[in-house]
């Protein structure tokens, strides 16, 4: 692969995580193909821009030509009406996986979410092997994303890593982030590990920083080849306390409230 990563395709490259991954991988690849619905401008000779809709399987497949890996970050990023989530997250992921199958892509990284298990209590340490307990319709769509990844690994032999991404922020800004924060440095560490770990058929990993108060297991991340280094506790004194509510006992916090989903039904 030359520099080690060869040709990497990043979907959702204009998003917050996508933008960070773009900058972080730019100097480590031979070619970086940036895919998004919005227009982007190449910022180096290694970058190539593709403006397309992930619902177009032929366009997606064409973008994956000669790719060594794909980092699939595109889709609907939060709670929304179920038809939108099925279209943007489930159908879009299926098209990426199908394009990867057709083009013989060596590794597929799927952006999953901690919201897939948001109804577990904060008192419980959750591993990827536990059953999903999504905190909303967005979480349900991520259950389907992981199921598609497992299907394409089992049935078609793709190498798939699902990263259950935590609260990606420059710094934690609310109490829940003391457990769920994913720093930019740790985010890139997990992405690099997901792209380079040898011998992976299918695995799911919580991408979260080494927060003292975390409630997700990080051993799988260590097995993948990355151990996070940042800790949200360093910011604890500057974050105001939450009000008393039942959602404070759930890992999804306010995302687990009925109101958060009912406005989209």
> What percent of the chain is modeled with pLDDT above 90?
94
Provide the CB-side half-sphere exposure for 30 (13 A, CA): 11
Q: What pLDDT is attached to residue 242?
A: 75
Of 118, 129, 141, 146, nearest to 215 (Cα)? 118
pTM for this structure?
0.96
Residue 121 has pLDDT above 60, yes or no: yes
Per-chain mean pLDDT for the chain: 96
Catalytic positions are 138
Write down the residue that tokens 């690994």 correspond to. Answer: 153
Mean pLDDT of 191-204: 97
Taking the domains of the chain in order of start, what are their residue ranges?
A: 7-262
Q: What burial class does residue 62 get, using C-beta atoms within 10 Å of its C-beta: 0-12 exposed, 13-18 middle, 19+ buried?
A: middle
Residue 104 CB: number of other CB atoms within 10 A? Answer: 12
The residues, ordered by sequence, that sit 6+ positions from 231 with a Cβ below 8 Å of its Cβ are 209, 210, 211, 212
Residue 152 has pLDDT above 60, yes or no: yes
- Per-residue pLDDT of 18-45, as tens digits, reads 999 999 999 999 999 999 999 999 999 9
Classify residue 202 as left (phi > 0), alpha (psi -120 to 50) or beta: beta
Mean pLDDT of 142-166: 98
Confidence tier at 240 by pLDDT (50, 70, 90): confident
Confidence tier at 241 by pLDDT (50, 70, 90): confident
Instruction: Output phi, psi for 33, to 5 deg.
Output: -100, 120
CATH of the domain spanning 7-262: 3.40.50.720
Question: Roughly how many angstroms between the first and final C-alpha of the chain, as a whole number?
Answer: 47
Q: What pLDDT is attached to residue 260?
A: 98
């Amino acid at each position: 692969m030359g520099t080690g990563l060869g040709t990497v395709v990043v979907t959702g490259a204009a998003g917050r995580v996508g933008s960070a991954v773009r900058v972080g991988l730019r100097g480590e690849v031979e070619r970086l193909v940036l895919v998004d619905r919005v227009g982007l401008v190449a910022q180096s000779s290694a970058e190539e821009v593709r403006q397309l809709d992930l619902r177009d399987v032929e366009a997606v497949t064409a973008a994956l030509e000669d790719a060594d890996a794909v980092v699939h970050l595109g889709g609907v990023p939060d709670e929304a009406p179920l038809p939108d989530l099925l279209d943007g997250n489930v159908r879009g992921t299926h098209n990426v996986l199908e394009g990867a199958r057709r083009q013989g892509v060596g590794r597929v990284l799927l952006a999953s979410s901690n919201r897939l298990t948001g109804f577990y209590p904060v008192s419980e340490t959750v591993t990827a092997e536990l059953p999903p307990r999504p905190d909303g319709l967005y979480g349900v769509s991520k259950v389907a994303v992981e199921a598609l990844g497992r299907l394409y690994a089992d049935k078609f032999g793709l190498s798939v890593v699902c990263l259950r991404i935590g609260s990606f922020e420059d710094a934690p800004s609310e109490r829940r982030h003391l457990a769920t924060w994913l720093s930019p440095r740790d985010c890139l560490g997990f992405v690099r590990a997901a792209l380079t770990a040898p011998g992976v058929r299918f695995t799911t990993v919580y991408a979260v920083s080494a927060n003292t108060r975390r409630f997700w297991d990080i051993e799988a991340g260590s097995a993948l080849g990355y151990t996070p280094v940042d800790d949200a506790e360093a910011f604890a004194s500057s974050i105001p306390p939450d009000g008393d509510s039942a959602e404070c006992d759930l890992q999804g916090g306010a995302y687990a409230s009925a109101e958060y989903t009912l406005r989209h039904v």
